[in-house]
């Protein structure tokens, strides 16, 4: 799939602020700092489109981007950031869950995990939640440029076992630094927005 245009559409906190649901949508979830916004920028090859930061907790709203005037990519706040006050975290949790549960045009979700880390209880919970609600899901391991092939060979076993990853689900290594995994993710998106299996 060729990306010919990518534009910021709007930000929202709750359903009242979502854009009209007239295009298919794909969303990205994962811990704060896992690389959601960077991944979106790399997918569309536009560095500053989604705001990124070294400090976790950068993305605090649901951000919608229009791609090729055909579909939307949705950047969600991250979960699990300890430095955010409890009530703010609860608000973000509600924001994320409310979006995932109620958005009718949502065609699929990428759950992002840092390739170097063992999935946390919140990662596991998010994965189970997506399975429970039957949301088409693909897991991607971010920052793959930080591991050697050998390290990744070991670490992917840990991730698969800890989550635990369902046999029908893929685990795609991705790097927003090198672009590894980009074509695979675009292929998944293409399938989702055309409503076929992935
Ligand atoms: N080496 C490397 N660094 C990455 C990669 N992806 C993201 N980063 C870095 O990780 C940090 C966090 O990236 P973001 O894209 O802002 O992460 P996020 O998941 O959107 O974070 P929140 O908005 O806080 O939830 C930044 O310093 C990025 O430069 C990657 O593939 N490789
Ligand atoms: Mg972000």
Domains and CATH numbers, the chain: 6-193 (3.40.50.300)
184-198: average pLDDT: 85
Mutate to test the pocket of ligand 1, among 28, 29, 32, 38 (most ligand atoms within 8 A of CB): 38
Query: Do 73 and 49 touch, CB atoms closer than 8 A?
Result: no
Please state, in angstroms and rounded to a whole number, the distance separating the CA atoms of residues 126 and 128. Answer: 5
116-140: average pLDDT: 94
Largest separation between any pair of C-alpha atoms in the chain: 47
Protein residue whose Cα sits closest to atom 11 of ligand 1: 54
Question: pLDDT over 70 for what percent of the chain?
Answer: 98
Q: How many CB atoms lie within 10 A of CB 125?
A: 13
Cβ of 2 closer than 6 Å to ligand 1, yes or no, is no
Q: Provide the pLDDT for residue 104.
A: 93
Please state, in angstroms and rounded to a whole number, the distance separating the CA atoms of residues 170 and 198. Answer: 9
Using pLDDT thresholds of 50, 70 and 90, give the confidence band for residue 108: very high
Q: Provide the pLDDT for residue 163.
A: 97
Q: Provide the pLDDT for residue 123.
A: 95
Cβ of 37 closer than 6 Å to ligand 1, yes or no, is yes
Using pLDDT thresholds of 50, 70 and 90, give the confidence band for residue 49: very high
């Amino acid at each position: 799939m060729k990306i010919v245009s990518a534009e910021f559409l709007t930000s929202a906190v709750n359903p009242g602020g979502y854009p009209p649901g007239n295009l298919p949508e794909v969303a990205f979830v994962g811990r704060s700092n896992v690389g959601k916004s960077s991944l979106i920028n790399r997918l569309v090859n536009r560095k500053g489109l989604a705001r990124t930061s070294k400090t976790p907790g950068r993305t605090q709203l649901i951000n919608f981007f229009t791609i090729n005037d055909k579909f939307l990519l949705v950047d969600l706040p991250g979960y699990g950031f300890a430095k955010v006050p409890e009530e703010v975290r609860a608000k973000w949790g509600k924001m994320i869950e409310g979006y995932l549960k109620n958005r009718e045009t949502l065609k699929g979700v990428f759950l992002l995990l840092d390739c170097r880390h063992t999935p946390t209880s919140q990662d596991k919970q998010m994965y189970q939640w997506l399975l429970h609600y039957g949301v088409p899901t693909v897991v991607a391991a971010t920052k793959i440029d930080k591991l050697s092939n050998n390290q990744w060979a070991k670490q992917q076993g840990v991730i698969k076992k800890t989550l635990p990853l369902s046999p029908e689900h893929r685990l795609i290594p991705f790097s927003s630094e090198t672009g590894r995994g980009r074509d695979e993710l675009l292929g998944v998106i293409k399938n989702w927005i055309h409503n076929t299996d992935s």
